Chain A
């Protein structure tokens, strides 16, 4: 299926330890386990262009619009033929999630360590 792309204006915001891209008052969380935090930090407070892959409103990319463009940052991948590096990152994260969940179920690790592995804060 050919994906239709559209662009929107957005802004990167940080709330606590989490990062979001804000588009038309809607916040989309940026997954820290896919994008290195240092890359996102560079864009906090800045206006960015957000690329949607298709009408299902999945964000596929965020990149700066300043005079000097920072490197493109991919934050979510809904299409199978997208950047293979990011697909690898997603696959790795899924594997991490799977194995971390197993370790938690088997009581090998605590909830706190499990949360650390998945980049979450414990509730």
Chain B
């Protein structure tokens, strides 16, 4: 016990955080996995008020006082809907932290790019070269064209563009051309994620969730393109090695759940509530009232999060278990309400899922 406590208190502190600035969004993405997207999760339902600019500054300062913060990703909802975004970016940059705006790109007019250029880094979602598919997935007519304009404006303004692609059954076949379009838009990097299930998007699983074969086909494409175009490609949603062969790729960076450790990106919601990641629905505390390190080292949920291994993984190869950790625990938590279940992508892929109706 003594040893495990010592080990815990020596755990490295996180360097990256996600700040969800607003719940408001001008899209209605079918694949949205935010914790507040599903009414039945009842996520902090009684409190919709958003942090003021000053409160955001306080939280950023506190995080920096407690942790070696290097990057803060600003998301939402749609962060560009916050009028004080330029001030927030200036504050973060002024503290020596690298901000990244995670946006659907729709509001990135030349003026907005100029106002936010102090941040310098933008991650914009591009779902297809086909406007109809992009707009359908985004739940917003005209989204594709506006996003293209936004990305053109980023390049003209001198900003850094990374493109995010979320693979679903509807768009996975268009990955090759979408990556090329991202390159033609001046993207310096690509983020690829398979659809990650949550309480809200679960209803669309039958029409959206890609099979392991589809993801594998995409990874083959990405491997070839990363090499051909020298494009950095990374994946943050877990590709579980029991359903997807990740060993054969040399040019793709695979991310796995950092299990609430130093590589985690703890997430602060629009009210200051803190969660283990942007997918998790579990509130650990509030940054306006509590210290981050107090939560990080002492919260019983985090200990459980780090240690729980789903029963379905018992017979898995130890070397896979070590990196995979049972897939996305937050996806399981959103869909099933606890950490004891494996990521539903695994059970659905293996045809063993009994709790989710897929027809």
Contacts and interface: CB of A to CB of B under 8 A. Distances in A.
Contact of A113 (B148, B177, B183): B148
B82 interface: no
Contact of B181 (A33, A36, A108): A108
A36 B149 contact: no
Secondary structure at chain A's binding surface: helix, strand, loop or mixed? helix
B152 interface: yes
Interface stretch (A21-29, A44-52, A55-63, A91-99): A91-99
B180 interface: yes
Nearest to B179: A99
A95 B148 contact: no
A99 B183 CA distance: 7
Interface in B123-162: 129, 148-149, 152, 155-158
B185 A102 contact: no
B181 A103 contact: yes
Interface in B72-105: none
A99 B228 CA distance: 12
Given A36-B157, A39-B158, A103-B180, A117 B129 contact: no
Interface in A3-56: 32-33, 36-39
Nearest to B180: A99
A100 B110 CA distance: 22
A92 B155 CA distance: 11
B156 A116 contact: no
Interface string A55-83: 00000000000000000000000000000
Given A108-B129, A108-B177, A113-B148, A100 B156 contact: no
A99 B184 contact: yes
Interface in A91-123: 92, 95-96, 99-100, 102-103, 106, 108-109, 113, 116-117, 119
Contacts of A108: 129, 177, 180-181
B180 A102 contact: yes
Given A36-B158, A96-B186, A108-B181, 10 more contacts: A32-B156, A33-B156, A37-B110, A38-B114, A38-B157, A39-B158, A99-B183, A100-B184, A103-B180, A117-B185
23 contacts: A33-B155, A33-B156, A36-B156, A38-B157, A38-B158, A39-B158, A95-B183, A95-B229, A96-B184, A99-B183, A99-B184, A100-B184, A102-B180, A103-B177, A106-B177, A108-B129, A109-B181, A113-B148, A116-B148, A116-B149, A117-B184, A117-B185, A119-B156
**Top 10 A-B residue pairs of the complex, sorted by shortest distance between their CB atoms:** A36-B158, A100-B184, A99-B184, A117-B184, A108-B177, A99-B183, A108-B129, A99-B180, A37-B156, A116-B152
Interface of A: 32-33, 36-39, 92, 95-96, 99-100, 102-103, 106, 108-109, 113, 116-117, 119
